[in-house]
Amino acid sequence: MRKNIRLAKLACESYNHFNKFNKGGESVANYTTTTPEWAVSNQSAVMSGIEGIRDTTVGNINPEYKPRRRNILTEDELVEGVSRGDRSVLARAITLIESNSPKHFKKAQNVLQRLLPRTGNALRIGITGVPGAGKSTMIEAFGNMLCDMGHKVAVLTIDPTSSVTKGSILGDKTRMGTLSRRAEAFIRPSPAGGTLGGVARKSRETMLMCEAAGYDVIIIETVGVGQSETTVRSMVDFFMLVVLTGAGDDLQGIKKGIMELADAIVINKADGDNLVRAKVARGEYERMIEFIRPATEGWPTHAYLASAVEKTGLPELWQVIQVFKKLTTASGVFQRRRDSQLLDWMYAMIDEHLHNLFFEDAVITGRMPEIKDAVLGGVISPTQAVAELVKLFDVKRAAERQVDLFTE
Ligand SMILES: Nc1nc2c(ncn2[C@@H]2O[C@H](COP(=O)(O)OP(=O)(O)OP(=O)(O)O)[C@@H](O)[C@H]2O)c(=O)[nH]1
Ligand SMILES: [Mg+2]
């Protein structure tokens, strides 16, 4: 401790000394300068010049200086900026949506509310597949192609593991290097942290913001492990599953459930030596699909070949998506899906809301251990336990205690 104080004193003294020295070279009297061995013998002119140098970093700190703060945008400015398609305002509106602060939550919701009339006009495409299947590479090639065709493309990712790995953000930005530099494209990595439910809400609202900003194709990438593909399916119109060759290898861990969600199965990396195998895989997938219920009423799911690297099969894929949109719009399936997605979303949020109210309530958490013991000890049945807990639960009080239910 004493040593620390001594050190601090020493640092302070030397700082003052240094300060004095740097004030326009007022005083160097206390310094003894030793000439370095590499200096030429007649150095006086140069050395005296040094005395006059003003160090702008140490001795001349401007007391008036205040670090520049980014001005906070008002609701009106956010609405206006996003409507105008201003990318930096859009990014800030999304940051507001992703914020966990109740104050930001309210502001973001107000902005979103005002922008709602401008949403809904984009085609929403989801892409899933095992890690390394080539989703990001494909989105980059596909996105560039769409931009060349005159579309505005927004790419979002849902990565339930991102709070753990964090690195995926950097990875995707570099993998989508050319796309991220285009004015017609907007890439936003997955909101970090939180439950999948929280990430889903944020991604959904981010998607709406992008639509309001004029992006007409939204692509959402998610890694095909766990629950996130169901979440993405519930927010897109068209869903593709990207797979690799070697479908026989136990379907590369792809569960039948995921295939049931897909409107198209894309066998990627159909290039070079892999092309023949990719064709074989396509046949195998086609045979399997026959036994699976199609994800979209009236739309037969098929397997297609593509190479994200050689950019083959991508125009055909876009063609397929166009036909899908035309057919499902004509049959009414397109709009019906969007309607039910909206209601499902609302119900899911109600579920989460009530779940949090109950399980985070102090009275319930206080009583829970005892009740659990009683159930495990065979003293009461689970049904009796529920009855007792629900009787204890006071919705009004719980609601008052909760600061903001949507902010995880
Ligand atoms: N030969 C070949 N390689 C490809 C193709 N598409 C992607 N790759 C390579 O496959 C690797 C993984 O590609 P990514 O696009 O990062 O795969 P991803 O599915 O996004 O992976 P995660 O984001 O980790 O789930 C990279 O090294 C790509 O260069 C393709 O069409 N052909
Ligand atoms: Mg990726």
User: Does residue 308 line the site of ligand 1, with CB under 6 A?
Assistant: yes
The yes-or-no verdict on residue 32 having pLDDT over 60 is no
All residues at 6 or more sequence positions from 343 whose CB lies less than 8 Å from its CB, including other chains: none
Q: What is the pLDDT of residues 109-124, one digit of tens each?
A: 999 999 999 999 999 9
All residues at 6 or more sequence positions from 100 whose CB lies less than 8 Å from its CB, including other chains: 194, 407, 408
Which residue, by CA, sits nearest to atom 6 of ligand 1?
Answer: 134
The yes-or-no verdict on residue 269 having pLDDT over 50 is yes
**Which domains are assigned to the chain?**
2-51 (no CATH), 70-118 (1.20.5.170), 122-194+212-333 (3.40.50.300), 342-401 (1.10.287)
Report pLDDT for 336: 97
Q: What is the pLDDT of residues 300-353, one digit of tens each?
A: 999 999 999 999 999 999 999 999 999 999 999 999 999 999 999 899 889 888
Mean pLDDT of 359-382: 94
Q: Kindly list the distances between the CA atom of residue 166 and the CA atoms of 91, 159, 389, in Å, as whole numbers in the listed order.
A: 19, 9, 39
**127 C-alpha to ligand 1 centroid (Å):** 13
User: Does residue 307 line the site of ligand 1, with CB under 6 A?
Assistant: yes
Strand partners, 240: 127, 264
Report pLDDT for 175: 65
Which range, of 85-94, 169-178, 218-227, 255-264, averages the lowest pLDDT?
169-178
Residue given tokens 């909101």 in the structure block: 191
User: Does residue 311 line the site of ligand 1, with CB under 6 A?
Assistant: no
Mean pLDDT of 289-294: 88
User: Does residue 309 line the site of ligand 1, with CB under 6 A?
Assistant: yes
Q: What is the pLDDT of residues 142-165, one digit of tens each?
A: 999 999 999 999 999 887 665 444
Report pLDDT for 192: 66
**52 C-alpha to ligand 2 centroid (Å):** 56
User: Does residue 190 line the site of ligand 1, with CB under 6 A?
Assistant: no
* Residue 180 CB burial class (10 angstroms; 0-12, 13-18, ≥19): middle
Q: What is the rounded CA–CA span in Å between residue 238 and residue 218?
A: 11
The yes-or-no verdict on residue 394 having pLDDT over 70 is yes
Q: Kindly list the distances between the CA atom of residue 146 and the CA atoms of 174, 319, 388, in Å, as whole numbers in the listed order.
A: 19, 11, 58
Sign of CA dihedral 260, 265, 269, 274: positive
Which has more pLDDT, 312 or 191?
Answer: 312
Q: What is the rounded CA–CA span in Å between residue 64 and residue 75?
A: 31
Counting ligand 1 atoms within 8 A of each CB, the residue from 128, 135, 137, 311 with the most, and so the one to mutate, is 137
Q: What's the distance, Cα to Cα, between the start and end of the chain in Å?
A: 42
**165 C-alpha to ligand 1 centroid (Å):** 18
* Closest atom, ligand 1, to C-alpha of 172: 23
Categorize the per-residue pLDDT at 246 as very low, low, confident or very high, splitting at 50, 70 and 90.
low
Q: What is the pLDDT of residues 125-142, one digit of tens each?
A: 999 988 888 999 999 999
| Beta strands at 302-305 and 264-267: parallel, antiparallel or unpaired | parallel
**341 C-alpha to ligand 2 centroid (Å):** 25
Mean pLDDT of all residues in the chain?
A: 81
Q: Which ligand is nearest to the CA of 131?
A: 1
Mean pLDDT of 88-101: 91
**297 C-alpha to ligand 1 centroid (Å):** 31
**199 C-alpha to ligand 1 centroid (Å):** 24
Q: Which ligand is nearest to the CA of 161?
A: 1
Which range, of 27-36, 239-248, 308-317, averages the lowest pLDDT?
27-36
User: Does residue 132 line the site of ligand 1, with CB under 6 A?
Assistant: yes
**132 C-alpha to ligand 1 centroid (Å):** 5
All residues at 6 or more sequence positions from 51 whose CB lies less than 8 Å from its CB, including other chains: 25, 28
Which residue, by CA, sits nearest to atom 8 of ligand 1?
Answer: 134
Report pLDDT for 232: 93
